[in-house]
Amino acid sequence: MGHLGHRPQFHPLKHGFDEWFGSPNCHFGPYDNKVKPNIPVYRDWEMVGRFYEEFPINLKTGEANLTQIYLQEALEFIRTQHARQSPFFLYWAIDATHAPVYASRPFLGTSHRGRYGDAVREIDDSVGKILSLLQNLGISKNTFVFFTSDNGAALISAPKEGGSNGPFLCGKQTTFEGGMREPAIAWWPGHIAAGQVSRQLGSIMDLFTTSLSLAGLNPPSDRVIDGLNLLPTMLQGHVMDRPIFYYRGNTLMAVTLGQYKAHFWTWTNSWEEFRQGIDFCPGQNVSGVTTHSQEEHTKLPLIFHLGRDPGERFPFSFASDEYQDALSRITPVVQQHQMSLVPGQPQLNVCNQAVMNWAPPGCEKLGKCLTPPESVPEKCSWSH
Amino acid sequence: MGHLGHRPQFHPLKHGFDEWFGSPNCHFGPYDNKVKPNIPVYRDWEMVGRFYEEFPINLKTGEANLTQIYLQEALEFIRTQHARQSPFFLYWAIDATHAPVYASRPFLGTSHRGRYGDAVREIDDSVGKILSLLQNLGISKNTFVFFTSDNGAALISAPKEGGSNGPFLCGKQTTFEGGMREPAIAWWPGHIAAGQVSRQLGSIMDLFTTSLSLAGLNPPSDRVIDGLNLLPTMLQGHVMDRPIFYYRGNTLMAVTLGQYKAHFWTWTNSWEEFRQGIDFCPGQNVSGVTTHSQEEHTKLPLIFHLGRDPGERFPFSFASDEYQDALSRITPVVQQHQMSLVPGQPQLNVCNQAVMNWAPPGCEKLGKCLTPPESVPEKCSWSH
């Protein structure tokens, strides 16, 4: 699971979870435990090991048992909750398809898609085992399952460790459809008919509100909640017309409203990065759209029709009637959004090597506490 | 149906068909019947009208009833054969998705994909009606249905009148996957299980051999037949390892063998065309691959792995072991192909405005015979 935040205040058990197995960051590494420590894996409050140490990942062969470990944790959690007759919420955040991509030995080399395909096959197999357990325990009709991804395929890792965004433009790190648009599957036998397709525009933020609704709760009323309850969509086929706002940092890059998408800023990555071979849009180039400088279009946004042009290749002519019509619909929605926005406290602005997992709770029991460097808080530098 | 050839010797009734309703070319136009005649529609030996005249197409709204007319012809043909208890072969070549794209009024404006999507929906609906008729007549278990396309989406017509090739590179007119790779569906209830997926590499030429096999016949033995019988693939799941050769004119541009594809020549279209806005690869650009000059790579072909890199974005390094291994497998297959090839007579080399549908058979009954210009046979100029 990516970037939960590694500081103590971001610990899942401080955010409503009763149990946790996993890591506060992705499985980057290996590190030397001198300049940087390897990233720890936790059970509840304490670390139980580190990636590349107790939780090995062979970068050369791509072999790692992590998906199998996460699968067993999920199955065990479900069995325990079922035995207790407890309702439960499981957030199963596997990361095998994040570079460095890994799979366990039975899956390595089994796909036509290389290591990335092997990882997808293992995830697919694992999801199947979780669904089978729910059915075997007789609780599938009481269990809502939602499957999706937090971003489009990271094409910087393609072709060996990256997926494909099909017809969509660019990949992860951008606000083009390839970076932001993901498939999602909702499963709830007896409630959601198999094989239905919804065109509802949703966001992962909707899962918060939707989960509350499933639990019979209302979202807190003391703040603006961006997420919508998707149950009317999934159960009754309702489609709600709502905008989705695309940000990079504090910059509103784009908005989607119905089939229209307006870009207020275009940027892939810097010329400097691009010239080093870092490419968020390999093989793709839309003139004036996949720009390597940050181009402002706030006065006259670039507008695409995602139905006819899902690949964002053909911006409307500014002079066309359809452009003027789309803009007249988008403008008030964006104004309303910007007027009602309450800026949050940036969570990723302070970097400090001293707080980076040197001696997480529990390290002393394992004899794995490392000595942190001197504490030097700095403004983080985010290259993208 | 595209480009059957308009000269009398190419008439379908001279090539094994007993009945014909359709046109020897696509529905281009409208023409002025002076410089060029509108393209005729035939029933059997004689024309019954012309596109934009007896068979109207409204270019502004996209409305035309042609798919409905072709559908009624197909349903009537099937009913008649069934009443006669005759076995039958129907080649149903609809062209609504070829620019100028059209749909009938009940379908116009019904998709999120614009006019192209409307046309696809009408074709989908029509295919459903044909399959339903086969089921209602009780002959679905005796009827083999194969659905595919003769080329990838023509991206020169995108976004208003062109489809999408998803993750594949470029479109129709090129030998990249977007131009040559199409989905195919085989339907034969009771023989082919629903939902199966085959990774067999096939070609439309295989339908000739496959159809003969279904009829209990062997292909002629006095010549080399390129098509394979696909029944073992469709009925027993066999996968045959066979190359597919990609030509433009007489030039072998590329070959696919297993997951490997080697390009001996790369070319999209000329700089001259491209600068006029004719683009076979809109939004796509792979350096050294989507070239606008005809680049020769016969000595050291560009090789891609279509499993890991279906979009042909990452050619192998010439120095890699995988390149050398793939090349050593591809080279003898290409040599064998070139040694055994018997060049055919070019069918599209002679152009003559005088033979272009001015006075097709039957025109006199309709009072629609036009006066051809003087006969001036010329070598054809094919810009792509």
Q: What is the pLDDT of residues A46-99, one digit of tens each?
A: 999 999 999 999 999 999 999 999 999 999 999 999 999 999 999 999 999 999
End-to-end CA distance of chain B: 20
DSSP code, position B130: H
pLDDT band of A222, cuts 50, 70, 90 = very high
d(CA B155, CA B178): 9
Beta strand extents in chain B (DSSP E only): 21-22, 40-43, 46-50, 145-147, 185-187, 244-248, 251-257, 260-263, 265-266, 295-296, 302-305, 350-351, 378-379
A166/B167 touch (CB, cutoff 8 Å), yes or no: yes
Q: Are B284 and A284 a contacting pair at CB < 8 A? A: yes
Q: Is the pLDDT of residue A6 over 90?
A: no
Count other C-beta atoms under 10 Å from residue A187's C-beta.
17
> Which residue in B252, B207, B253 sits closest to B234, CA to CA?
B207
CA angle (B303, B309, B315) in 5-degree steps:
30
Structure confidence at residue B3 (pLDDT): 55
* Residue B351 bridge partners (DSSP): B378
- Which ranges of chain B does DSSP label H, i.e. alpha helix? 66-83, 114-136, 177-180, 206-214, 231-236, 271-275, 321-340, 363-366
Which pLDDT value is given to residue B179? 98
Contact call for residues B1 and B93 (beta carbons, < 8 A): yes
Q: What is the pLDDT of residues A289-316, one digit of tens each?
A: 999 999 999 999 999 999 999 999 999 9
Q: What share of chain A is helix, strand, coil (3-state, %, to 5)?
A: 25, 15, 60
Residue B86's SS3 state is: coil
Instruction: Quote the pLDDT of residue A356.
Output: 77
Q: Of A353, A348, A178, which is closest to residue A254 (Cα–Cα)?
A: A178
Torsion of CA A152, A154, A159, A160, to 10 degrees: -120
Residues of B in contact with A308 (CB under 8 A): 112-114, 116-117, 159-160
Residue B106 has what DSSP assignment? T
Given this model, what pLDDT does residue B63 score?
98
pLDDT at B80: 98
Write down the mean pLDDT value for chain A.
94
Chain A interface, mutation test: which of B177, B261, B285, B290, most A Cβ atoms within 10 Å? B285
Q: If you count residue pairs, one on A and one on B, with CB atoms under 8 Å apart, how many are there? A: 78
Q: Tell me what percent of chain B is helix, strand and coil, each rounded to the nearest 5.
A: 25, 15, 60
Rounded Cα gap, residues A229 and A200, in angstroms: 12
Rounded to a whole number, what is the distance in Å from the CA of A286 to chain B's nearest CA? 5
Q: Which residue matches tokens 């012809």? A: B73
pLDDT at B134: 98
Residue A115: Cβ within 10 Å count: 24
Instruction: Give the amino acid at A214.
Output: L
How would you classify residue A67: left for phi > 0, otherwise alpha for psi between -120 and 50, otherwise beta?
A: alpha
pTM: 0.93
H or E element, residue A263 = strand A260-263
- Between helices B114-136 and B66-83, what is the axis angle to 10°? 10
| Cβ atoms < 10 Å from Cβ of A5 | 14
Q: Which neighbouring-strand residues pair with B266? A: B295
CA B264 to chain CA centroid, nearest Å: 23
Q: Which residue of A has its CA nearest to B284?
A: A284
pLDDT at position A4: 57
Below-50 pLDDT ranges, chain B:
1-2
What amino acid is encoded at B218 in this protein? N
Question: From the CB of residue A237, how many other CB atoms can be counted at a distance below 10 Å?
Answer: 11
DSSP designation for A323? H
Weakest-pLDDT range from A41-45, A135-139, A296-300, B345-349: B345-349
Neighboring chain B residues of A310 at a CB cutoff of 8 Å: 164
- Mutation to test the B interface, candidates A313, A317, A322, most B Cβ within 10 Å: A313
The 8-class DSSP code of residue B157 comes to G
Half-sphere exposure at residue A37, Cβ-oriented, CA atoms within 13 angstroms: 23
Q: Helices A66-83 and A114-136 sit at what angle, rounded to 10 degrees?
A: 10
Interface residue ranges in chain A relative to chain B, Cβ cutoff 8 Å? 111-114, 116-117, 158-160, 164-167, 169, 199, 259, 282-286, 305, 307-314
Residue A263, sorted as left (phi over 0), alpha (psi -120 to 50) or beta, turns out to be beta
The alpha-helical segments, DSSP class H, found in B137-250 are 177-180, 206-214, 231-236
Q: Chain A: give the shortest CA distance to residue B290, in Å.
A: 9
Q: What is the DSSP letter of A17?
A: -
CB contact under 8 A, A314 and B158: yes
Q: Look at A128 and A2; give whichever has higher pLDDT.
A: A128
User: How far, rounded to the nearest angstrom, does the alpha carbon of residue A139 sit from its chain's CA centroid?
Assistant: 28
Closest CA to A256 of A199, A184, A341: A199
Residues from chain A that touch B283, judged by Cβ atoms under 8 A, are 169, 284-286, 311-313
- The rounded distance, in Å, linking the Cα atoms of A304 and A259 is 8
Which candidate in A266, A308, A317, A320 is best for mutational testing of the B interface (most B CBs within 10 A)? A308
Q: Which of A160, A285, A305 sits opposite B285 (nearest CB)?
A: A285
Tokens of B278: 């004719």
Q: Which residues of B touch A284 (CB under 8 A)?
A: 283-285
Amino acid B1: pLDDT:
38
Q: Which two tokens stand for residue B240?
A: 């045959």
Phi-psi region at B52: left, alpha or beta (left = phi > 0; alpha = psi -120 to 50): left
More confident residue, A373 or A272: A272
Residue A182 has pLDDT above 50, yes or no: yes
pLDDT recorded at residue A1 = 38
- Chain B residues with CB under 8 Å of a chain A CB are 111-114, 116-117, 158-160, 164-167, 169, 199, 259, 282-286, 305, 307-314
The 10 Å Cβ neighbour count of residue A283 is 22
Residue at A163: amino acid letter: G
Could you tell me if residue B173 is left (phi over 0), alpha (psi between -120 and 50 degrees) or otherwise beta?
Answer: left
Among the residue ranges A126-130, A280-284, B354-358, the one predicted with the least confidence is B354-358
Percent of chain A scoring above 70 in pLDDT: 98
Query: Are the C-beta atoms of B331 and B189 separated by less than 8 Å?
Result: no
From chain B, pick out residues whose CB is under 8 angstroms from the CB of A164: 167, 310-311
Q: Do the beta carbons of residue A318 and residue A243 sit within 8 Å?
A: no
- How is residue A294 written in tokens? 């940050």
**pLDDT of amino acid A68:** 98
Strand spans (E) along A25-66:
40-43, 46-50
Reported confidence tier of residue A2, pLDDT bands at 50, 70, 90: very low
Nearest CB to B314; choose among A159, A309, A314: A159
